[in-house]
Amino acid sequence: MTADFYYGIEVVLNGLMAGVLYALVALGFVLIFKASGIFNYAQGVMALFSALTLVGIMNGQIPFAHLINSIFGTHIHHFGWHVPAVLAILLTAGVMVLLAWCVQRFIFRHLVNQEPIILFMATIGLAYFMEGFGDLMWNSEIKKLDVGIPQGGSFWIEDMTSGLGGDAFYGFFIDQLDIVAAIVAIILVIILVAFSQYTKQGRAMRAVADDHQAALSVGISLNFIWVLVWSLAGFVALVAGIMWGAKSGVQFSLSLIALKALPVLMLGGFTSIPGAIVGGLIVGVGEKLFEFLIGAPFLGGATENWFAYMLALVFLVFRPQGLFGEKIIERV
Amino acid sequence: MKKLATATVAAIMCGAPVMADLVFPSLSYRTGPYAAGGIPFADGYADYMTLLNERDGGIGGVMTRILECETGYNTEKGVECYEATKGEGSLVYQPLSTGITYQLIPRATADGIPLHTMGYGRTSAKNGAVFSNVFNYPANYWDGASIAVNHLLDENSGSLSGKKIALVYHNSAYGKEPIRTLEGLSEKHGFDLTTIAVDHPGQEQKSQWLQIRRERPDYVLMWGWGVMNQVAIQEAANIRFPMENFIGVWWSGSENDVLPAGQAANGYKSLNLHGTGKDYPIYADIQKYVIDAGKAAGAGDQIGTVLYSRGMYAAMLAAEAVEKAQSIHGVMDITPAQMRDGMEALSITNAILAENGMPGFGPEFDVSCENHGGPGLGFVQQWDASAKQWNLITDLIASDKDVIMPLVEADSAAFAAESGITPGCS
C-alpha cells in the first residue's frame, strides 16, 4: 500500500475523532428539542458559559470583579486559591443546574403553549444575555483550560504505525485529546441512554417528549422535567466546553462551535441521541475526506464548513427527518 | 410659556460644548468572538489620549475626546459606527478591520476624513496619489510577507532555494493579502510555496495541520486572527512542528495567541510593528496619570501587552499628526481635512519617539503624498513561554521594495481606473 492510502486512513480516523467533538455539541440540542420541542439557539453559548465558569472556579477568579472594582474603586480579581479540576467540574455542574432552574423559572414558564418560533426567539435572547452575562462575570480575556487531558499526537500510535506506507509515511497521527473526547462521548451517551430508559425521571422525560398533555394528566411535573432537561443539556455543554476549550483556550468564539452542530443535527435528526453521534461521525469523516481528496488539491482548500452543510442537505432531500429522526405524519 | 422657553434655552446652553475638542473615534470591538484582541487595542488607544489630556492638557492646548463605537468586528456595524460618528468632527478613523476598511475607503474619501489602517486594510493604499485619504504607515501586509521571508533568508545564509514554505491563512480578504507577494518572492528566491486556507473562525484545523504534517514544509507562515491563531499554534505543537520555524504576521503575535498553548508555544515567532515589553518610560506615565488616577479605559490590566502597545502606538502617531496639522495650518482646533494634511506631512524621528517616552519603539519615517505606507519595516519577536513574554530577536527588517512596489502600483492603478480617480499629488 502507498503512503497516500495510509494518509487517507489517517484522515478518516481524524474525521471520526472530529465528528465525536461535533456530536458532543449536537447532543445538547437534541436533549432539549426532544423533551420540549425547543431549538435551543443558546446551546453554543451554554458551552462557552460553562467553560468560563469552570476556568473561573479553578483559578479562584472573583465573579463580577470588574463591576465591583468600578463601583467601589477596589482592585480585587482573585481569591488567591486554586480549586482542583474535579471539584471545579462538580461546582460548575451545580451552576449549570442553577442556570437551568433560572431559565425555566424566568423564561419558559411564562411561554407555555407559545408557538415554537416564539420559544426559538426566546433562546436567541437567552444566548445574547448569557454571552454578556458571562463577559461581565468572568471577563473576556482568553483563558487556558487545563483539566489534565493530554494533548498532542500519540507517540505510541505513531511509532507502531510508522513505515506502514514506506519512508514517506510517518505513522498515524491521532491527537490524545481526541481519544479522550471519544471515550468521554461514549460514556456520556451510555449514561444518557441508560438514564432515559431505566430511571423514573428518564421515563417521565420521554413521556413529556411524546405528549405534554398526556404526561401532565398522569401527574408528571412539566416544570421539573424541563429543569431536568436543561440541566442535562447544561452538563453536556460543560463536557463540550471542556473538550473544545482545552483545544483553543476558553474564549468567546467558543460559542461558534454551535455552527458545527447544525449539519450534524440536520443529518442525524433533532430527536435522536444515537443520531447525533452517527451524524457527527458522518459529517466529521465526510468533510475531512472531501478536503483531503478534492478540497485541498483542486478547490483551494477550506471546504469543510460548506461541505458539511451540503452533505446534510443531500441527506435531507432523501430523508427530511434526518437519519434517526422521527417521521412526522399529520393526518387530515 | 415664558418659563418653558427659558428652560429650553437653559437646557440648550447646558448641553452645548463649552470648548472645542479633538475628536478621535474608536471603532472598537469589546464584545463577540474577537473581543480578546479588540479590548487591549481600544484601551491602549484611549489611555494614550487620556494621558495627553491629564499630563499635557491635550494637544496644543486642545483636549482630546475618544468617541467609542462598538463594531463587534462586524463590517456592517463598522459602517454604521462611521456614519453615526463622522458628524462629530471625527479627525481620523482606525477601522481595525480589513473588511470595514474596504467599505470606508470610498465613504471617507468623499467625506474628506482620513483613515489610518496601521498594518492592515488595503495594502495598495500606500500609493497616496490614488488613495488620498488612506494611510497605512508604518508597514502593510505585503511588507509583512517580505519581512518574514527576509528573516528566513537571514537564517539561511541568504538562500531559500529548494526550501518549502507553507502559508496558513484566514480564508478572507485579510488572509489572502500576502499570497501575491509570497508568490513573487517564491519566484525570486526559488522556494516552494504552499497556501493552506482556514475557514472562519478557525476553531477546527485538523485537515490543515495533517496536510502540513504530510508535506513537511521547512517553515510555516501564518496570517490568522482570533481563535484561528490559538488553534493553529496548538495544532502545530500537536504535530511537533518546530515552533522556531513557525512565524505569524503581527496580528498573530499577541499574548492571547500563545498563552492557551502553554509551554508548547515556546519559541513561536511573529512579526511586530513596534517594540514589546514594558521597558519604555511611557508606561510609567500611563500608570501614574491614567491607571492610578482611575481614568483607564479598561481594567488597567492590559498595559504593556502587544495589542495594548499597538493601540497606544496608533494613538501616538495620530497625536503627532495633529501637532503637525496644527503647525501647518496655524490653528489648534483642526478639521479632518487639516488632519489629513498633518498625516501626509508626518515625520517620526527617534527624537520624537524618545520625547514621547517611546525610544526605539518604532521606525523613523516620513510620510509623503507618494508614500502613505511608511518605510515597511518590522521586528521579529519570539515567545518565551517560561517568562510569559515576547522578546524582540531582530532589529527592524526592511521589506523587498523591488517586489512590493510593482504590486502596489498595479493594484492602485486598477483601483484608480475602476473608481474614476486621476492619480496625482498636488
* Residues 22-51 in B contacting A (C-alpha not used; CB under 8 Å): 30-36, 39
Could you tell me which residues are beta bridge partners of residue B194?
A: B166
- The per-residue pLDDT for range A310-325, each reduced to its tens digit, is 999 998 888 887 787 7
What's the pLDDT band for B19 if we cut at 50, 70, 90? Answer: low
Asked if A295 and A303 count as a contact pair (C-beta separation under 8 A), the reply is: yes
Please give, rounded to a whole number of angstroms, the shortest distance from the CA of B185 to a CA of chain A.
20
Question: Are B323 and B394 found together in one domain?
Answer: no
The better pLDDT of the pair B352, B424 is held by B352
Alpha-carbon separation of residue B60 from A241, A251, B335, B367 (angstroms): 51, 41, 14, 21
Query: B146: alpha, beta or left, given left = phi > 0 and alpha = psi -120 to 50?
Result: alpha
* B289 & B155 share domain: no
Mind telling me how many Å the CA of A64 is from chain B's nearest CA?
Answer: 12
Percent of chain A at pLDDT > 90 equals 56
User: Are B242 and B145 within one domain?
Assistant: yes
Instruction: Check if the interface score ipTM surpasses 0.95.
Output: no
- Give the pLDDT band of residue A332 (cuts 50, 70, 90): low
Per-position b or e across B131-160, b if 16+ CB within 10 A of its CB? bbbbbbbbbbbbbbbbbbbbbbbeeeeeeb
Size of interface A-B (CB pairs under 8 A): 129
Candidates B201, B207, B230; nearest CB to A288:
B207
Q: Do B262 and A144 touch (CB under 8 A)?
A: yes
Q: Are residues B261 and B145 in the same domain?
A: yes
Which DSSP letter does residue A325 get? P
**B133-167 residue pLDDT tens:** 999 999 999 999 999 999 999 999 999 999 999 99
Report CA torsion sign: B365, B368, B373, B376: negative
Same domain, B132 and B64: yes
Across A214-221, average pLDDT? 89
Q: What is the 3-state secondary structure (H, E, C) of A97-131?
A: HHHHHHHHHHCHHHHCCCCHHHHHHHHHHHHHHHH
Residues B358 and B221 in one domain: no
Q: Are residues B399 and B262 in the same domain?
A: yes
pLDDT of residue B17: 46
Top pLDDT among A332 and A215 is at: A215
Asked whether residue B128 falls in the same domain as residue B165, the answer is: no
**pLDDT tens-digit map of A224-277:** 998 999 999 999 999 999 999 998 889 988 888 888 889 999 998 888 888 999
Question: Would the pLDDT of B426 be above 80?
Answer: no
Range of the domain at B196: 141-272+386-405
Per-domain residue ranges of chain A: 3-318
The answer, for A131 touching chain B at a CB cutoff of 8 Å, is yes
Q: What percent of chain A has pLDDT over 70?
A: 98
Taking an 8 Å cut-off on Cβ atoms, the answer to whether B214 and A253 are in contact is no
Instruction: Compute the distance between CA of residue B198 and CA of residue B200 in angstroms, rounded to an integer.
Output: 7
Q: Which span out of A16-25, A216-225, B349-358 was modeled with the highest average pLDDT?
A: B349-358
Dump strand ranges (E) for B143-292: 164-170, 192-198, 219-223, 246-248, 269-272
Q: Are residues B26 and B60 in the same domain?
A: yes
Distance CA(B271)–CA(B306), nearest Å, equals: 11
B330 is a domain residue:
yes
**Beta-carbon separation of B234 and A170 below 8 A:** no
Q: Based on the fold, state whether residues B390 and B369 are members of the same structural domain.
A: no
Task: State residue B353's pLDDT score.
Answer: 98
The cell for B339 is 488632519
Chain segment B222-249, per-residue pLDDT in tens: 999 999 999 999 999 999 999 999 999 9
- Domain CATH code at residue B339: 3.40.50.2300
Q: How many structural domains is chain B composed of?
A: 2
Contacts of B170 in chain A (CB under 8 A): none
Q: Mean of the per-residue pLDDT values for chain A?
A: 90
In-domain check, residue B381: no
The stretch B252-271 carries a mean pLDDT of 95
Residue B58 lies in a domain: yes
B132 and B27 assigned to the same domain: yes
What pLDDT was estimated at residue A330? 65
What is the reported pTM?
0.90
